[in-house]
Amino acid sequence: EVYNDNPRDFLNFVNEGVTGRINSGFVTGLAGHFGARQKDGSRKLILSHAGHKQVLIYRKKQDAVELINLPNGTVMGIPGTTASRAKALDLHVGDRFYAFTDGIVEASAPNGEEFGMERVIESFKELSAKPIKEAIDTLYDKVAKYTKSPDQQDDITILAFELT
């Protein structure tokens, strides 16, 4: 009910509220906040996760996509689980942050081959000059074409923003 600047505490609080109330399955989550803006416009993003430990950052200055592995944490809704410890990520003006569920990475073509993290990284690099919403929509369309299925196999959720 009160955020204490620790995203892990927040996710663990949510976990306490949902554990024992879910009939089947689990809940994943990501929580965080920004540190103060620096004179050059950069900011720290302090993150914790419950179930999706990889995020991507497109680094505008380097024109490269960086794969970030967050500390270990587990899904919510199962007794005894806990979110990851918080990690601070440096973001600079023009950088883009992407978090997504595994439905993107694990989407399979008819032959069973997964879309994979490398295709996600390549796609976001190729789409870096496009508006961020267009980049997300284009990736979603690429995954749908790759699977050749009108119905997605798993949940697909993407959270993205650009530091301006």
**Confidence (pLDDT) at 151:** 65
Whole-number Cα distances in Å, 164 to 25, 37, 50, 88, 106: 37, 11, 27, 18, 31
In angstroms, the CA 109 to CA 149 distance is 9
pTM: 0.92
Whole-number Cα distances in Å, 76 to 42, 69, 117: 32, 19, 24
Q: How far is CA 126 from the centre of its chain?
A: 19
- Please determine, for residue 96, whether its predicted confidence score (pLDDT) is greater than 90: yes
Tens digits of residue pLDDT in 49-59: 999 899 999 99
Tens digits of residue pLDDT in 104-144: 999 999 999 999 999 999 999 999 999 999 999 999 999 98
The residue among 89, 83, 98 whose CA lies nearest residue 35 is 89
pLDDT: which is higher, 47 or 102: 47
What three-state secondary structure class fits 150? coil
